[in-house]
Amino acid sequence: MEFPFNQCENRATSGDQFTILKLVKKQCLTRALREWVKNDAKRLGRLVKNDKISDTIGMKSTLTNPKDLLDVIELPAIVVSKDYEIEATNAAYESAFGQLDLTNSPKCYAVSHGYDKPCDQSGEDCPMRQARASGKKTRVLHVHHTPRGREYVDVEMTPIRDDSGNVTHFVEVLRSVENKVTTHEPVKVAGSHPAFRQVLSQVSRVADSDIAVVLLGESGTGKEVIAQAIHQQSGRSKRPMVTLECSGLTETLFESELFGHTKGAFTGANFERQGLASAADGGTLFLDEVGDIPLNLQVKLLRLIETGSYRPIGSSESKHTDFRLICATHHDLWRRVQEGAFRLDLYYRINVFPIHMPRLTDRRSDIPVIADSILESLGPRNRYHLTQAAQSLLEEADWPGNIRELRNFLLRASVLNDGNVLAQDLINRLLKERAIAMGGIEKLSDPNSKLTHYSLAELERRYFAELLEAHQGDKKAAAKHAGISLRTLYRKIESLS
C-alpha cells in the first residue's frame, strides 16, 4: 500500500500541511511504533476519522492488504468493499464482536444486523450509502447483534479513495454507546513537584463542594485521573462518576448519550435506553473534551446544567437529575468564546473552578516516580524496575505527549527488555530511535530534505527484528505483544525483508 505524499502536500494549505503530513505518515506505522509519532493526534483511533485525512489520502485502487488500514486503530474497525463485503477486521473488533470467517465474504448488514439486504432497504440508516453519496465520513446510531445481545453502536464510515479520487473501500469504526458508568478503585496520583502539588491542593479544596470544575491542559497530562480524584474525595463518591466523550458527537448521538431515548424515538431505537444524565444522578458527570461540543448542541447542555431537567428523545415528560459537573479540555476556552465557537453563558457555567494541569516537562522531577507507578501498574508478575541512570535519561527527555507518551514508551521498553531491570542502554537506544522517527516526521515538510518514508520502514524493520528476538522467534507471542494478527506479522516480515 502506498500513500501519495506529494498529493497530500500539494492539496494541504500551509496552515495544516504539517499536521496532515504527520497524520498521514502515521498510517504507515505499526501500532507499536505509533507511540513515537502520535503526540499531535488528538485521540488514538482518530487517524482514519480525521476529515483532513479522508479528504487528502489517496490510495491505489486495489487494496492488496486491507488489514493494514486497521493496524493503527484501537477502536473496533472493519474494512468494507463497495459491495458491502467485510474484507478485514482488527483485533479490537474481534475482541468486541467475535472473530469472523472472511473466506465467504460476509456482508456487513448480515453480520451486524442479521439482514438479508442493505440497511437502507431494511428500514435503517445506511452509513455507507450516506458516505458514498456525500463523499465524506458519516456517522449513524445502529443496533448491532453482539455476543452480549443487542447493543447501540455509534458507527462512523469513512470513504477511502484511489489516486483518481474514486471511492474504493470504506473504513467503519464502531463504538459501543452503552452507559460509560465507572466505579473506580482508589486513584493513584504520583508526583511531588510544586506545580503538581498545587493541583492536588486545589483538588483537596474543591472536592467537598458541588461547584463545577474544569480541567485545562494538554492531552495526556492526566485530566481524567484528577477528575476521578475529585469525585472520590467528594460526598458523592458512593455514587458513580459517568464519563461522556464529547468530541465528534452528532446531535442525535449527543442527545441519546446524555438524555437517553424512548422505544421507537428514531430508526433503530427498538428499546428504551437510560442516558448518562440519569446514570450520573447523585454522582459526578465528567464531560471530556467539552470544548469540542458543536455550537448548536451547547444550548442543550446549558439547559441541563442550569435546571437539572431534561427530556429523553421521543418523550414529552421532563426528568430531573442531580450531579456534580467536571469538564476537561485541551482547548483555550476563552479563545473559543472569542472565536464564536463556544457560548459565553456556557463558559461561565463550567469555568467556575479551573485547574490547570502542568505538562510533564514542567514537572521533570516527577518523571521517575511516575515511571515507577506506570511499571507497577503492569502487574506483580512482571515487576519492572528502572536503573538510576535510566531514570535520569527519562527525566532529561522531552515528552510532548506527556504521561500518555511516557506510558507507551515504557510499555515498549518492557516488551523489548530481557529480565525485569530496564537499564540505561535500552532506554538510551529507544530514545534515540524515537528522536529519529520524530525528526523524520518533521522533515517531511521540508522540501530540501532527503529523508523519505523509507527511513521509517527501517525503523519498522528494526522493531520487528527486536520483537522476534525478545520472544525467541515465537511469532504468535510476538504478534500478540504488537497488537496485530499473526497473518499481519507474517506479511510485515515478508514486506520488510
CA–CA separation, 302 and 408 (whole Å): 37
Please report where in the chains the cell 458512593 appears, as a residue.
238
At residue 175, the pLDDT reads: 78
User: What is the third-level CATH fold of 181-356?
Assistant: Rossmann fold (3.40.50)
CA–CA separation, 59 and 56 (whole Å): 10
Question: What pLDDT, in 10s, does the model give residues 57-89?
Answer: 333 334 445 565 676 677 888 999 999 999 888
Question: What pLDDT, in 10s, does the model give residues 316-340?
Answer: 889 999 999 999 999 999 999 999 9
CA–CA separation, 50 and 196 (whole Å): 33
User: Which range has the top average pLDDT, 97-101, 160-164, 253-257?
Assistant: 253-257
Question: What pLDDT, in 10s, does the model give residues 382-403?
Answer: 678 899 999 999 999 989 889 9
Location of each CATH 3.40.50.300 domain in the chain: 181-356
Using alpha carbons, select from 467, 464, 468 the residue that is nearest to residue 456: 464
Confidence of residue 20 (pLDDT cuts 50, 70, 90): very low
At residue 215, the pLDDT reads: 98
Location of each CATH 3.30.450.20 domain in the chain: 5-176
CATH fit for domain 5-176, picks 2.40.180.10, 3.40.50.11540, 3.40.140.10, 3.30.450.20? 3.30.450.20
Averaged confidence pLDDT in the chain: 77
User: Does position 151 have pLDDT exceeding 50, yes or no?
Assistant: yes
Question: What pLDDT, in 10s, does the model give residues 429-446?
Answer: 888 888 766 654 444 344
Mean pLDDT throughout 456-469?
71
